[in-house]
Structure 1
Amino acid sequence: MAVAKTDAINVLNTDTAKLYTHIHPILVLSAYYFNFSSIVADPVSSLIKFLIPLNVLQIAYVVICLPATGTAQPPPVLKSSGMKPAVQKKSPKGKSVSLASRITPALLSLTLSLALGTPLLGTILILFGAPLTTHIHHTILCAAHISLLSALPLIYTHGIDTDKWRRIAALMIPLDEVFGAAVGTCIGAWIGAVPIPLDWDREWQKWPITIVTGAYVGWAVGKVVGGLLVKGKVIDLRP
C-alpha cells in the first residue's frame, strides 16, 4: 500500500483545542468503559442512554477543536527557531470565527449524522450479516453510535458536498484525526464481529456489543494514528 502526502484538517490553533483534542478520546472511552456492564446487561436501554453523553462529547469536540466547513483552517505551526508562531486565520469579514458561530453547524452535523448516517450504516450492517428480522433496535443503535463517532466530525469539517463524499468513500482524502477516526471506527467495528460466532457462550458476545466496542476502540486508535502518525497521507490501494 503506497501513500502520498497532501493537505489535511488541522485542529484549531488555540490552547484549549490542542489540549481537548487529546483529552477527548480518554473521556469517550472512559465513559464507555464505565457503562460497559450495563450495556452487556441491557444493550438497547443502555445504548440509548449512552447516546446523550456521546452527543455532548462529540459536539464539544467539533466546536472546540475543529474548523467548520467553509471556514478558514489554521495554518500549520512553524517550528523553526526565530519564527513567529502561526496564528489562527480569520473569516472573510476579518473577524475570528467565534465559538457560538460553530455551535449551529455542529448541531446540524449531529442531525444529519443521525438522520442520514444511521439508516445508511444500519443497511450496511444488515448486508454484512446483522439480523434482518430480529434485533432491529440493536442494529439501529449500533449504527447510530458508529455514525456519531465517524460521520459527525466528517460532516462538520467537510460539509455535504456530493463530490467530496465520493472522495471520502473512495479513501481519496488525506488522513487526519477526523478521517482517521472514521476509518478506525469502521475497521474496529468489523474486527469486533469476530468474537460473535465463537462458541464461548459469553453475555458480551451478543449482538451488537462486540461491534460497538470495536467501533469505540477503533475510533480512538484511528484518531490518534491519523492525527499524529500518518497525518496528510492518502491511502493508495493500487497494487
Structure 2
Amino acid sequence: MSATPKKVKKTVSFSRNSPSLSDRNPSTEPGSPVAESGFDFADDEPQIHELPKPSPAFLLLPFHSLAIVYALFYHYNISSKVISALHSSTLAVLTLQFGFGLITLTTIKNKKRAKKHRGPNGGELMYLVISSLISGFAAVPIFLVLLVFGAPIGSLSEETAFLALHLSFLTVFPLLLVYKFTDPDSGDTWIRLLTFQVPAFYRNQIYLQAMGALVGCWFGVIPIPLDWDRDWQQWPITLLAGAYVGSFAGSLIGYLYSIFE
C-alpha cells in the first residue's frame, strides 16, 4: 500500500530577509526613481518652443506700405473709382512687394552669416518667385474667410477679391520668407503660425508685420457704417488702408521692442 503524499503548506513570509517584489524590482521601493518604465508623464506634456525669428533690422520695416497707401489715394484716386484703382495699382503693388521680398531675404541672410552686400542667389530668387505664386493662390482661402466674417457678396465680390490678394501679400508672403516651406519642420511651424502659437511674438518683427496687417484691416471696418457720407468710406478702401498702415505699425513695434528691451 503506497504512502499518502504529505501536503506541503505554503506560507508567505514578510520577514526582512525574504525576497519580495521590491527586491526583484528595486524601482518600486519608496523614494527610488522610476526606471525607464515609460510612465514618466512629464515627457508627455506638450512643450512649445520659441520659433526662430529674424534679428530686428531697420531694413525690414515695410516703408513701401505707406507709399502704397499714398499712391492709392493721390495717384490712383481710389476714393472716386475703386475698381479702376485696384486694377491699375496691382502690378505696382506686386512689384513693390517683390522688391521688399528681395530686401528681406538679403537682410536675413546677411544677419545670419554676418556678411554684407551679399544678394540672393539663383535658388533664393526661385524660392522668392514660388513664394509669390503661393501667396497669390493663398488669396482664395483668405477670400472665403472674408466672406465668413461678413464681407459683401454680389456686386462687391471683385473688390473683396482684391482685398484678399493684398492681405495675402501682406501676411503670407513675408512669413514665407522667414519660415520657408522647404524647411524639414515647415509643417509643424506653419500650423503654429496659423493657430497663433508663437511665443514672444512681440519680439518677432516679421510676425508682427503680418499680424499688424490683420489687425489694421479689422479696425478698417469701423468707419464704413458711420454716417459721414465720405467717398473714402466705400468698401474696401478703409480696410485696405488699415491693413497697410497696420503692417508698418506692427513691424515698427517689433523692431522698437527688440532694440530697446
Which residue is equivalent to 1:119? 140
**Which runs of structure 2 are paired with 1:138-153 in the superposition (5 Å)?**
138-153=159-174
Letter in 2 for 1:194: I
Q: How much has 1:48 moved relative to structure 2?
A: 2.3
1:163-178 equivalences in 2 (<5 Å): 163-173=188-198, 174-175=200-201, 176-178=204-206
Partner of 1:200: 228
Structure 2, unmatched stretches of 5+, are 1-47
Partner of 2:216: 188
Is this contact kept in 1: 2:105–2:120, CA < 8 A? no
Cα contact 2:102–2:120 (8 A) shared by 1: no
The aligned residue for residue 63 of structure 1 is 102
Of 53-62 and 103-112, the range deviating more from structure 2: 53-62
Greater RCO, CA 8 A, separation 6+: 1
Contact residue 54 and residue 206 of structure 2 kept, 8 A:
no
Structure 1 unmatched ranges of 5 or more: 13-17, 76-85, 90-95, 234-239
**In structure 2, do the counterparts of structure 1 residues 7 and 155 end up closer, same or farther at CA, with 3 Å as the change threshold?**
closer
Distance apart, 1:51 and its partner CA: 2.1
Where does residue 87 of structure 1 map in the other structure?
114
CA contact (8 A) 1:63 1:99 kept: no
Q: 1:188 to 1:98 in 2, by over 3 A?
A: closer
Q: Quick check: 1:31 aligned with 2:56? A: no
Query: Counterparts of 1:178 and 1:119 in 2: how far apart (Å)?
Result: 22
Contact 2:217 2:241 in 1 (8 A): yes
- One-letter amino acid matched to 1:10: P
What letter matches 1:106 in structure 2?
L
Aligned pair 1:107/2:129, yes or no?
yes
TM-score in terms of structure 1 length = 0.74
SS in 2 for 1:51: helix
Counterpart amino acid of residue 198 in structure 1: L
Question: Following TM superposition, by how much is the alpha carbon of 1:11 offset from its aligned partner in structure 2, in angstroms?
Answer: 5.2
CA distance in 1, matches of 2:141, 2:51: 28
Is 2:108 the partner of 1:48? no
Q: CA deviation at 1:41?
A: 1.4
Match for 2:130: what amino acid?
L
Aligned length: 203
Q: Which amino acid aligns with 2:191?
A: R
What TM-score comes out, normalization by structure 2 length? Answer: 0.68
Cα deviations by residue, 1:185-234 (Å, 9 ceiling, x for unpaired): 00000000011111111111111011101101110001111233158x9x
**Which amino acid in the other structure matches residue 195 of structure 1?**
P
**Alignment RMSD (CA, Å):** 3.0
Larger Rg: 2
Query: Contact 2:175 / 2:206 at 8 angstroms: preserved in 1?
Result: yes
Q: Secondary structure at the match of 2:189?
A: helix
